[in-house]
Amino acid sequence: MDAVRGAGGLPLLLPPGDEAAEEILGHLDGVVFTGGGDIHPRRFGGDHHPHHYSICDERDECELRLIRAALEAELPTFTICRGTQVLNVALGGDLHGHLPDVVGDDVAHRESRDRHILHRVVVAPGSRLAEVLGTRDLEVASWHHQAVHRLGEGLRAVAWADDATVEALELEGAPWLLAVQWHPELQLDQGPQRRLFAAFVEGTRKGG
């Protein structure tokens, strides 16, 4: 919320559980899907894992419906961490249920449930993300143990950690969408991270 305000936007919270949540989108200029607990593995055909935490079926259902509706309405959409995983699952992709099982520990993506960690990300040249950030090589605030695996329909990876974990997505044909696996709201002292929120707010004013 502070990051959106700082970029000149007016944030409104959408709590899960509203049966008509999609109708609210008609009153908004854009949507941010934030970080949070894990998506239930049944949403993407995955298996339960001992490290899964804070699963909320109500939030999963609400956000999956909302993100599909936002994309259909071509609302400017910005997804962060869990939000990027929701985007991928909503479009038919799946997730690595516990990243260390897949890529090991050479790159730490989460230190603990209470504290984020920093690691390097490299962004694809020519991507919208690289244009917004103004750089292709940066250190990001990471706080996740799940990650994108098989990409959903129309999505392409545009940033990676040094262990090849997908760190950002773009969607073919979407007028305005940014999707990052890290937490830019934790690094607002850095210009590239602030530019993500500034670009989002500017996008909402231009209608994409």
Of 52, 81, 109, 167, the active-site residue reads 81
For the chain, list the domains and their CATH numbers. Answer: 30-206 (3.40.50.880)
What does the pLDDT read at residue 164? 96
By the 8 A CB rule, do 121 and 160 touch?
yes
pLDDT tens for each residue of 124-167: 999 999 999 999 999 999 999 999 999 999 999 999 999 999 99
DSSP-based three-state secondary structure for 3: helix
Nearest to 146 by CA among 179, 103, 115: 103
Question: Residue 155: beta bridge partners?
Answer: 171
Specify whether 185 is catalytic: yes
What does the pLDDT read at residue 208? 54
Kindly state the percentage of the chain with pLDDT values over 90.
Answer: 79
Kind of pairing between the strands at 77-80 and 177-180: parallel
**Count of Cβ atoms closer than 10 Å to residue 88 Cβ:** 27
Mean pLDDT (the chain, rounded): 93
Specify whether 49 is catalytic: no
Of 63, 167, 170, 185, the active-site residue reads 185
pLDDT tens for each residue of 22-75: 788 989 999 999 999 999 999 999 888 878 888 899 999 999 999 999 999 999
What does the pLDDT read at residue 124? 98
Specify whether 81 is catalytic: yes
pLDDT tens for each residue of 71-103: 999 999 999 999 999 999 999 999 999 998 999
